[in-house]
Amino acid sequence: MHWKTESYDLLREDWIPILWCNGRFSRAGIREVLTKAHRIKQIAAPNPMDRVAIIRFLLALLYWSKGNPPNDAHGVVGESFPESWFQRLEDADTFRLLGHGQRFYQDPSAQRCRPITDLLQEIPTGNNFWHFRHATDYTDGLCPRCIALGLLRLPLFAVSGLPNLMAGINGAPPIYAVPCGASLYDTLVSNWLPRMPLGEPTWAGTQTAPNPHDDVPLLEGLTLRSRKVWLHEPCGATRPCVGCGKNDVLIYKCGFETAGKQENDRWHDPHVFYLSTSPRQALRAADLTKATAFRMDRPWRDLFKAILDTGRHVSTGKATSLLVVGLATDKAKYIDVWERTIQLRPRSSEEETVCLGVSSLTESPPTMSSKETAITRLTQWQHQVKTLEEIVGRRKGSILGKFAASSIQPHIEDGLSSKSGEVLNGSSKVWQDAEHQYQFLMKIMARALYPAFTTVALSRQEELISKISIYQKNRAKHDKTTERKRDANDTD
Ligand SMILES: [Zn+2]
């Protein structure tokens, strides 16, 4: 066996993919990642779902080990996490993937036998569409590193499906927005905010669904698993893992079944934006494969508005990156996963002056703050797009309108989203750029839809029709004259 121990200890085995600040890539265990977080640039998993899942898992470990941040956590803690903070992890003995006794994120009551690839959404199996590869159930296996990543996704990205599988605590997977800093240490500190109650993570004992009438403690909500999983034993010679390609002794099947209903409206996820509370509605990634008359790029307008409304990430007064990850689903189908890093930065005094002085695009009075200006412009954007959707939707026969709207609008929105920092700062220039781009695209579309040869062809057609009409009139006149002459001859 290639592993150091048959139990696969997640504290020490090298399984978390990391990019060091010096540019080197490697994998490391939980202990090394936490104690050297200041030297690690970021989590380097290729799938953004894993990046979000790992950061949230490390955050849960930090809360569990140290509790809420000390008063001086932001800046005075030092430049790294002391090793002594994580002694609780060593004592717990709950981070083993295999072996006897308690296993990490597993439940021995999971009886329904399934291929191990059920843990990773991006691996096409069974009768799913073939892409560049396809996995065969129970024949292709996963290494313990990929299995650990799959287990960490269970609280975040589960969907409802047959047989009686149910979504996790957040319901259909929402969009997750995670603040990220210059190093993994900065990232964890940025997310380590005082929260009450903390509760206990599900790895510390038996998991039970929280009471739907009570607030859900932070650690319970972060770690509540949507599936019961029990790994079967690894077997056979070393083979390439279907997840990462690395040669290893693999696991091919597991117990995998629903963990029951977990969706809970009393849970306030620290990385989710809620659009409404009653009924509870979280911001979600749209299924762009659905054939609709009007197709947006991504829910940028709602996302930007939610960031400003909550002030959750823009009130810190320092530059921040926001890792935004959404898994688009259609009931039990996984459609796609998308990510975008939004740069948030405080407005410079020069920009503030420019913002307050320019109000030509909106009716904003010059006394508005940059945040109010940004909100006003985003509200106007939402209103205008809604009006456009209504007009286009109402005119069912207007193919031209639908075509123009669904072609141009996502393009403009994509351009705006790539300048998220300026949009959130209430910058006027980014909106002027969007307006110019819109006019430019409309001109191109106008030329494409009404080319010159069509106009010429129409003129010729009209000319021909008029000539045919004259010919038919002359022909009828001629026929009548001929008939009259024949009648006269017959009489004679
Ligand atoms: Zn693997």
- Residue 395 confidence (pLDDT): 60
CA of 337 to the centre of ligand 1 (A): 20
15 CA from centroid of ligand 1 (Å): 9
Q: Rounded to the nearest whole angstrom, what is the distance from the C-alpha of residue 249 to the centroid of ligand 1?
A: 10
Q: What is the pLDDT of residue 257?
A: 95
Distance CA 244, CA 147 (A): 11
- Residues with CB in 5 Å of ion ligand 1: 143, 146, 241, 243-244
Q: What is the pTM of this model?
A: 0.83
Determine the distance separating the centroid of ligand 1 and the alpha carbon of 148, expressed in angstroms.
Answer: 9
* pLDDT value, residue 363: 38
Alpha carbon of 188 to ligand 1 centroid (Å): 26
Look at residue 478 and tell me whether its pLDDT is greater than 90: no
Distance CA 24, CA 256 (A): 36
| Structure confidence at residue 397 (pLDDT) | 56
Residue 360, pLDDT > 60, answer no
Cβ atoms of 275 and 302 closer than 8 Å: yes
Distance 367 CA to ligand 1 centre (A): 57
Residue-wise DSSP of 322-353: EEEEEEEEETTEEEEEEEEEEEE-PPPHHHHH
Ligand 1 centre distance from Cα of residue 92 (Å)? 26
pLDDT greater at residue 367 or residue 349: 349
pLDDT number for residue 299:
80
Ligand 1 centre to CA of 451 (Å) is 55
Instruction: Report CA(241)–ligand 1 centroid distance (Å).
Output: 5
Cα-to-centroid distance, 149 and ligand 1 (Å): 9
> 244 C-alpha vs ligand 1 centroid, how far in Å?
4
pLDDT band at 276 (very low <50, low <70, confident <90, very high): confident
Distance 147 CA to ligand 1 centre (A): 7
With b meaning 16 or more CB within 10 Å and e meaning fewer, what string describes 371-391?
bebbbbbbeebeeebeeeeee
Q: Which residues contact 492 (CB under 8 A, 6 or more apart)?
A: none
Residue 130 has pLDDT above 70, yes or no: no
Mean pLDDT, to the nearest integer, of 316-324?
Answer: 79
Q: Give tens-digit pLDDT for 12-45.
A: 999 999 999 999 999 999 999 999 999 999 999 9
Query: What does the pLDDT read at residue 27?
Result: 97
pLDDT of 89-100, one tens digit each? 998 889 999 998
